[in-house]
Amino acid sequence: MFRLSTASCSLALLLVSSGCSHTPTEKEKRSAEIHYDLALQAQQAGELQDALRELQVSLKNDPDYPDANNAMGILLHLAFRRPDEAVKHYTKALEVRPDFSEARTNLANVHLDQGRYDDAIKLYELVLNDMLYPTPFIAQGNLGWAYYKKGEPDRAVESIKAAVTTNPNFCLGYKNLGLIYDETGRTSEACRQFTHYRENCPDVAEAYMREGVCQAKLGQVDAAKAAFAPVRPRRKLVNRC
């Protein structure tokens, strides 16, 4: 998703002085919001260094701004691969806004990547108790993957199936179900899930590849060839999904 180039800019975060605390003025808060919006625009355009700089300015004006801290966490985790620094920003966002389920999900995602599965599971479960969280299928699906990585495939399947039931277009859910079934020796069921992946996510080239490889394992040569056929013209889509 991120288009990373060699970054010459420093990723050192702007820190608030450990001395007397400063309450941002209304002008500073407004400036923080403006630079946060500019950061989102830069990120959407693939200008990650610009996004970083705008978030640094935003947090300089208002170090406690939850949305900017959450956005900084996403950038540090997914674009610049600095998970420990990302955790600090997610934690700050949650200190200021304890019901910030998006930041809690993102913090859980870092723990999942770090192999801290129990910590991730606890956070995902907290998010799923928030009935106002608009995308619970993401937390539900990631909860399932955390269970799988922890060595509990049955609970993993149950959780991810709940996610794709909530959102039938949740591509990652079908993919992960297929991977779990494939890696636990249930190839026929894996193929069914990869077929769901392809049917519900027709613009994702990987879905055709996964289905074809799985069918080849079952000896379904003609079906595998048919699945592979669309992959070549769709190759460019891989980088966008």
Task: Categorize the per-residue pLDDT at 41 as very low, low, confident or very high, splitting at 50, 70 and 90.
Answer: very high
Predicted pLDDT of residue 227: 74
Residue 11's pLDDT band (cuts 50, 70, 90): very low
Assign residue 231 a region: left if phi > 0, alpha if psi is -120 to 50, beta otherwise? alpha
* Closest C-alpha among 50, 63, 58 to residue 9: 50
Lowest mean pLDDT among 35-39, 118-122, 216-220, 224-228: 224-228
> Is it the case that residue 241 has pLDDT exceeding 70?
no
pLDDT at 232 over 60: no
Q: For the residues 172-181, what does the mean pLDDT come to?
A: 98
- Is residue 34 pLDDT above 60, yes or no? yes
pLDDT over 50 at 221, yes or no: yes
pLDDT computed for residue 231 by the predictor: 57
Per-residue model confidence (pLDDT) at position 145: 98
CA distance 142 to 139: 5
Q: How far apart are CA 111 and CA 122, in angstroms?
A: 10
- Provide the whole-model pTM: 0.82
Under the banding of pLDDT at 50, 70 and 90, the label for residue 155 is very high
Closest-CA residue to 107 (of 91, 96, 118, 122): 91
Mean pLDDT to the nearest integer, 214-237: 70
Question: What is the arithmetic mean of pLDDT over 129-141?
Answer: 96
Alpha-carbon distances of 80 from 9, 23, 241, rounded to whole Å? 12, 30, 19
Q: Could you give the domains of the chain? A: 27-98 (1.25.40.10)
Mean pLDDT on 88-103: 98
Structure tokens given for 216: 């080849």
**Residue 181 DSSP SS3:** helix
pLDDT at site 4 = 35
* pLDDT greater at residue 219 or residue 18: 219
Q: Does 218 have pLDDT greater than 90?
A: no
Under the banding of pLDDT at 50, 70 and 90, the label for residue 239 is very low
